[in-house]
């Protein structure tokens, strides 16, 4: 057992947060679950504190979940973590990467620059332009820039009256600002989660949609199954995750009639899909990886 002190940024009581803290405790004897809502940045004393724990004195921090929901405030939380990074405390994944990926637009732009195939995507502030995009693409998913697990997403199609589209878009703009419009793709009721740790491929699982759901998220009744990808598919996932500096992630891939496309790369990645779909305890693997990185001075 090492004597490292590694904290877990996450949501207290949530399974993925607690299981990672458990795995770290088994390796190090130290356990700290840190809710960023309770963190205090003391610029005068140059400390980042959580209920008396000085995060600047830790050997490392793993960010499992920086916020319950994505929002601009989550980027602020990542910026606060950059304070201890500047002091030499390694953060997994780095705060600059987290900030880049919390915003759907900046994450998408990285994939586009990396030449990763994605569904046709258009971004605009204009309601007029948004309506013309919907007419041209026939059917789109309107996505907030800050969201996870399909929260806040809506399907819009060219058959809807212009007045109805404009009403929906006006309400959306008032809450979210930009319109991120992505053409729907034909799925066979599932998409894939491809798991990478330190850039190394681990496994792939399928998310299978529940009855009557347009998306495959577990929140909407989906479930996990095992999936064996081709080498070409693994290479696509590797290419997508390489667009970012991530310690651990899952790449969301859809198999379409026109070939595979990447929906997104997760800022944090989940453990349950790999456990239920692949039978692997990747939380334990992640804990082992972080301990090894810190002990070997690679972090």
Domain ranges of the chain: 6-101+285-295, 121-183, 186-279
Whole-number Cα distances in Å, 100 to 82, 119, 151, 250, 291: 13, 20, 19, 16, 25
Residue 1 has pLDDT above 70, yes or no: no
Tell me the per-residue pLDDT of 177-190, one tens digit each, with 9 for 90 and over.
899 999 998 877 78
d(C-alpha 106, C-alpha 100), whole Å: 6
Residue 211 has pLDDT above 60, yes or no: no
Residue 218 has pLDDT above 60, yes or no: no
Residue 7 has pLDDT above 70, yes or no: yes
Which structure tokens are listed for 206? 């399928």
Position 143 confidence tier, pLDDT thresholds 50, 70, 90? very high
Q: Is domain 186-279 classified as CATH 3.90.230.10? A: no
Residue 216 has pLDDT above 80, yes or no: no
The pTM of the full predicted model, rounded to 2 decimals, is 0.89
**Which pLDDT score, from 0 to 100, does residue 109 have?**
96
Please name the fold of domain 121-183: Dna Ligase; domain 1 (3.30.1490)
Task: Look over the chain and give the mean of its residue pLDDT values, rounded to a whole number.
Answer: 92
Provide Rg for the chain, Cα atoms. Answer: 20
d(C-alpha 118, C-alpha 275), whole Å: 27
Do 6-101+285-295 and 186-279 have matching folds? no
Q: Which CATH class is domain 6-101+285-295?
A: alpha beta
């Amino acid at each position: 057992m090492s004597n490292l002190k590694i904290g877990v940024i996450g949501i207290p009581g949530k399974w993925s947060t607690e299981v990672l803290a458990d795995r770290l405790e088994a390796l190090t004897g130290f356990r700290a679950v840190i809710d960023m809502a309770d963190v205090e940045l003391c610029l005068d004393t140059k400390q980042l504190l959580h209920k008396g724990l000085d995060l600047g004195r830790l050997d490392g921090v793993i960010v499992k979940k920086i916020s319950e929901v994505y929002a601009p405030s989550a980027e602020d939380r990542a910026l606060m973590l950059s304070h201890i990074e500047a002091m030499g405390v390694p953060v997994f994944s780095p705060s600059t990467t987290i900030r880049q990926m919390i915003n759907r637009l900046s994450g998408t732009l990285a994939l586009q620059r990396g030449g990763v195939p994605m569904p046709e995507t258009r971004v605009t502030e204009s309601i007029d332009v948004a309506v013309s995009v919907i007419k041209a693409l026939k059917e789109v998913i309107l996505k907030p820039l800050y969201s996870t697990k399909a929260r806040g997403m809506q399907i819009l199609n060219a058959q809807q009256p212009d007045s109805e589209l404009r009403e929906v878009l006006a309400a959306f703009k008032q809450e979210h600002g930009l319109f991120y419009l992505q053409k729907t793709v034909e799925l066979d009721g599932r998409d894939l989660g491809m798991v990478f740790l330190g850039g190394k491929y681990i496994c792939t699982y399928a998310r299978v949609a529940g009855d009557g759901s347009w998306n495959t998220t577990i929140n909407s009744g989906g479930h996990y199954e095992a999936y064996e990808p081709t080498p070409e598919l693994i290479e696509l996932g590797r290419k997508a995750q390489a667009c970012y500096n991530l310690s651990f992630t899952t790449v969301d891939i859809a198999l379409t009639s026109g070939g595979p496309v990447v929906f997104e790369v997760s800022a944090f990645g989940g453990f349950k899909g790999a456990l239920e779909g692949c039978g692997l305890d990747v939380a334990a693997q992640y804990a082992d990886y972080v301990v090894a990185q810190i002990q070997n001075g690679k972090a």
